[in-house]
Chain A
Amino acid sequence: MRLLIRHDRAIRAWLRASLPSMNDVDEVMQEVSVVAWRKFDQLDDPENFQRWVSVIARYEILMYRRKKARDRFVLGKEVEQLIAEEGQEELKLREQQLGALEHCVQKLPESKRELVMEVYSSGQPMHEVAKQLGKSDAALYKSISRVRQSLLECVKRSLAEGAAS
């Protein structure tokens, strides 16, 4: 369980790129946790845990994809494979990006931080949040997109500074 908690966020970030929504990520991660728990005695070396659990996750993505294949907005098999395979090699980078993101969120001006927290904590579609905030859909998308851009820049900068020091 401790190993799973330690690597949970990097794996979920990797899953997120392959799955259409956070709910899908939670659903697949739940399967991954149960399978990892059940097959834990097959893990030969705890050092290999991330690699081992990512193989389980790859399989669970495939199963999930099969289940949802008829839905709209499910990426084609070839595209999904490319995203997942490339991402499997970047779990360390995911951890670093998530770590940097926490600091970057703290650096945001208060109004922007509140806006982004409002959108991400609501669990509702953006257009619903826009309605609640009394903004137009387009205005909210634009604001959130700008905040993301500044967070992206900040994360990139933090990792580059970390690598240089």
Chain B
Amino acid sequence: MRSEELQLLEQHLDGTLAEEDFARLEKLLLEDGEARAMLRTLATLDLGLHDIALGQQLHRNKELVETRSIPPRRTTSSSFSASWTRSLLAIATLAIIGLGIALWFQSSGSSAESAADRNIAKVTGTGGEVAFTGNGGSVTTDLKRGTLLTGGTIEGSSPTSWVELEFLDGSRVTVAGDSRLTFSDFDQKVLYLKDGSVASSVKPQNPDSPMLVYTRNAMLEVLGTEFEVESDVESTSLDVTEGKVRFKRLSDGQTVEVPANQRVQSAEGLKLSAQPIPDRTNQWEINLNHPHGMTGKWIPSTESLPPRLKLVHYWHKSPKAGSILIKSASMPVVGKDNQRVVLRPGSMLRVRGFAKANQKTVFGFVVRNNNGDFGGYYVSSKPKVYWMDLQTNDESRSGDLQSFEFVIDADDLCRGQDLDSQHFASTPVGLVADTFFCSTPPEDSDLEITEVEIFNQMQIE
């Protein structure tokens, strides 16, 4: 096999292949059985090296914990080396699931302090402004893919914040938007969702120690399934995509089993029962008379003006400029009967409100994949704008604020700058709109939103 062909295969696996070389790679793989066999061997090498490196990293973390809990004389270089080799071979023989189990059993006898220091999860994806408060109260905002975490609290601080965590057994949890989640995994996984939403895909758990998810008003028992939970001060909403989750309302102790494709809501006064997740819709409009779940400053209606949502300050992590201050407001996208709202071909976003002329503004959606996972965020940064017009007319507000209407095809929204093309689709069409948001630079911005809707393009033609 020629060296340039080998290089193509390596670049493909490394994710460094240039777009113009992709067709050449496909042709090679289609026509040459030897190249396909080499790709499989290189893929095996790639996976094996990842596993060995992960095993070594976990082993080092464990060594650090042990170094703190045993007398220093026991950590001589020879015992370190022998122990390293034995453990490495043992760990490398097991897969990720095995790694988690092995590490758990190895560390179950250590002190409470070392258990608290133990890394229990890895960041597998993140974006936007996210803070992690770990053991001992240390705070970091510098989370990256591959960062190992002890138990602690993850806090997203803007609508486009997100972080995906993977526990040692492969269970995944995605925290998105303005959410706060505390997690631990001593002898069982326990999550506390203070606010916001979490999507989870949980590997089969020991029936004696199911994963527990607490919100302000409910408790969920999870044995291995996919689900999405949203919580605020008043209610908790659970959608189960796969498997089954036991849902307990804390105020009266009532429980209900929620199977796949069903939903339950825990608001007080409502009968607690699992209902089929309603059919999806492609239409949505906000009702600003009931500003439930919105972020921003809500202004009630007056004699001459409708209720408005004003933008407030947020920190935003920009891939180019780092943490910057912006003004932003957001609102959940939920259909009339609590339906999920899908962006379909022809879906249009219309926003109305008051703004200054030439106000730099970004509108967008945070979306979810169809299984509830975080699907990225998409913005109107370089769109083909169908119609954007700041009008001076009778509806002019005080000062220099004027009414505006902004319309854009959902297919013209662009993927967030910090989202990679391998994991996030190039367009939000086909995905579920989760949150609408609007952002502006912090200075000199008084934008107010009065109406937002998603409608089908056919309706205006």
Residues of A within 8 A of B170 (CB): 26, 29-30, 33
B287 CB, min distance to chain A CBs, angstroms? 33
Partner of A101, one of B37, B48, B225, B425: B48
A107 vs B44: C-alpha distance when bound (angstroms): 18
Q: Is B172 close to A, CB under 8 A?
A: yes
How far apart sit A108 and B42, CA to CA, in the bound complex (Å)?
17
Set of chain A residues within 8 Å of B53, measured between Cβ atoms: 116-117, 119-121
- B47 in contact with A22 (CB, 8 Å): yes
Instruction: Please report the C-alpha to C-alpha distance between residue A77 and residue B167 in the assembled complex, in whole angstroms.
Output: 32
Asked whether B26 is an interface residue with its Cβ less than 8 Å from the other chain, the reply is yes
Q: Contact: B97 with A17, CB < 8 Å?
A: no
- Determine which of A106, A117, A141 lies in contact with B16 in the assembled complex, contact meaning CB atoms within 8 Å: A141
List chain A residues, Cβ under 8 A from B155.
Answer: none
B124 in complex: contacting residue of A26, A117, A151, CB < 8 Å: A26
User: B7 interface residue, CB < 8 Å from A?
Assistant: yes
Q: Is the interface of A mostly helix, strand, loop or mixed?
A: helix
Cross-chain contact of A120 among B49, B204, B369 (Cβ < 8 A): B49
Contact mask for chain B residues 4-25; partner A; CB cutoff 8 A; 1 contact, 0 none? 0001001011111101001000
Complex CA gap A94/B226 in Å reads 30
Q: Give the residue of B39, B47, B52, B92 whose beta carbon is less than 8 angstroms from that of A83.
A: B39
**How far is the CB of A110 from the nearest CB of chain B, in Å?**
12
Q: A residues within 8 A CB of B139?
A: none
CA distance A38 to B202 in the complex (A): 13
- Point out the residues of chain A lying under 8 angstroms from B42, CB to CB: 148, 152
B426 interface residue (CB < 8 Å to A): yes
- Asked if A23 contacts B124 (CB within 8 A), the reply is yes
Which residues on the B side are within 8 Å of A14 (C-beta)? 40, 43
A125 and B15 contact, Cβ closer than 8 Å, known pairs A16-B47, A17-B40, A102-B48: yes
**A132 → B minimal CB distance (Å):** 11
A82 near B30: Cβ-Cβ < 8 Å: yes
Q: Which of B17, B37, B423, B425 contacts A70 (CB 8 A)?
A: B425
Chain A residues, CB < 8 A from B138: none
Cβ of B385 under 8 Å from chain A: no
Please, which residue of chain B has its CB at the minimum distance from the CB of A96?
A: B44
A30–B40 contact, CB under 8 A?
no
Q: Report if A20-B15 is in contact (Cβ < 8 Å); known contacts: A82-B36, A83-B29, A148-B42.
A: yes
A102/B98 contact (C-beta < 8 A), A17-B40, A86-B40, A126-B16 known: no
Residues of B within 8 A of A (CB-CB), count: 70
Chain B residues with CB under 8 Å of A101's CB are 44-45, 48-49, 52
Tell me which residues from 18 to 75 in chain B have a Cβ below 8 Å from any Cβ of chain A: 19, 22, 26, 29-30, 33, 36-37, 39-54, 56-57
Task: State the CA gap A76–B31 with chains docked (Å).
Answer: 13
B19-A72 in contact (CB<8A): yes
Residues of B within 8 A of A67 (CB): 369
Do A8 and B26 touch (CB < 8 A)? Answer: no
A42 within 8 A of B: no
Is B322 interfacial (CB-CB < 8 Å)? no
Interface contact B146-A148, CB-CB below 8 Å: no
Find out whether the CB atom of B40 lies under 8 angstroms from the CB atom of A79: no
A30-B200 Cα distance, complex, nearest whole Å: 12
How distant is the Cα of A87 from the Cα of B36 in the complex, in angstroms? 9
Q: Is the CB of A124 within 8 A of B40?
A: no
Q: Which A residues touch B125, using CB under 8 A? A: 23
| C-alpha gap A83/B88 in the complex (Å) | 31
A43 within 8 A of B: no
| B36 touching A120, Cβ below 8 Å | no
Question: In the complex, are the beta carbons of B45 and A87 less than 8 A apart?
Answer: no
Whether A86 pairs with B36 at a CB distance below 8 angstroms is: yes
Residue of B nearest to A145 (CB): B10
Contact with B along A108-140 (1 / 0, CB 8 A): 000000001101111111110000000000000
Q: In the complex, what residue of chain A is closest to B144 when comparing beta carbons?
A: A124
- Chain B residues contacting A12 (CB-CB under 8 Å) are 47, 95
In the complex with contacts A14-B40, A90-B40, A72-B421 CB distance below 8 A? yes
A124 B44 Cβ-Cβ under 8 A:
no
Residues of chain A from 61 to 88 with CB closer than 8 A to chain B in the complex: 67, 70-73, 75-76, 78-79, 82-83, 86-87
Instruction: Judge if A55 is at the interface, Cβ distance under 8 Å.
Output: no
**A72 and B15 contact, Cβ closer than 8 Å, known pairs A26-B124, A34-B204:** no
The residue in B45, B93, B145, B147 that gathers the most chain A C-beta atoms within 10 A of its C-beta is B45
B51 x A9 contact (CB < 8 A) = yes
Q: Nearest 8 A-B pairs (CB), nearest first?
A: A123-B146, A8-B95, A121-B53, A120-B53, A17-B43, A16-B43, A13-B44, A101-B48
Listed A/B pairs (7) with beta-carbon separation below 8 Å: A23-B124, A25-B47, A34-B226, A76-B30, A102-B88, A141-B14, A151-B49
